[in-house]
Chain A
Amino acid sequence: GAGVSQSPSNKVTEKGKDVELRCDPISGHTALYWYRQSLGQGLEFLIYFQGNSAPDKSGLPSDRFSAERTGGSVSTLTIQRTQQEDSAVYLCASSLIPGLAAETQYFGPGTRLLVL
């Protein structure tokens, strides 16, 4: 596609429910990243995929958070038993070639999650 797409754009859920957020990277981009932006914490790195594997999961805040990537393309971020502090904008980014320090990351529009 023309850019990184994410769905849904907005998600409202009740505390304790599970949610799945989807990211479609730019076609051909092998590296994929998830970030979170919240009022109190700013923009935080969550997880990085190279192909279908995740060599860096260091930013996932708890074991309620998980992510997978299939076919080297689409990625899903799952939050189980959501809490109110999970409310944030979840941003996905992709880049063409992993391992190159100078590679630009292209961001999607984000999913705004609100946990009531």
Chain B
Amino acid sequence: SQQGEEDPQALSIQEGENATMNCSYKTSINNLQWYRQNSGRGLVHLILIRSNEREKHSGRLRVTLDTSKKSSSLLITASRAADTASYFCATAPRVGATNKLIFGTGTLLAVQP
């Protein structure tokens, strides 16, 4: 079963605006990752934040992590039409011996030109 829940389920913004997506999870984690998916196919890794980190930046992406609230947010600044895609958070649970990822439900982002 999925661990993560994301909101909003869908987000439509204008080019140039910022987009914020939120993710909540249930158990202790080693890290949390954000992925992007175009057209329902392969996933592209965007950014990873470790459980002892609170904020991380990569280009126009900013990720925050609040382990006390078991939540994370992904901010895309100055959005472009090419950012249109589905975005998923994925957690690597602390328990267990594998690196399997537990994915959230995803946010469908539409950036209008």
Contacts and interface: CB of A to CB of B under 8 A. Distances in A.
Contacts of B105: 42
B75 interface: no
In this complex, which of A31, A42, A103 has the most chain B Cβ atoms within 10 angstroms of its Cβ? Answer: A42
Interface stretch (B13-21, B39-47, B61-69, B77-85): B39-47
Interface in A28-77: 31, 33, 35, 37, 41-45, 48, 55-56, 59
A89 B99 contact: no
Main secondary structure of the interface of A (DSSP, over half): strand
* A: contact size bracket: 20 to 34
Nearest to A57: B98
Contact of B41 (A33, A89, A93, A102): A89
Interface string B76-101: 00000000000010101010111111
Given A45-B102, A95-B99, A107 B43 contact: yes
Contacts of A35: 101, 103
Interface of A: 31, 33, 35, 37, 41-45, 48, 55-56, 59, 89, 91, 93, 95, 98-110
Interface of B: 2, 30-31, 33, 35, 40-45, 48, 50, 88, 90, 92, 94, 96-106
17 contacts: A42-B103, A43-B2, A44-B103, A45-B100, A48-B98, A55-B98, A56-B98, A89-B41, A98-B99, A100-B99, A101-B99, A103-B99, A104-B48, A107-B42, A107-B43, A108-B42, A110-B42
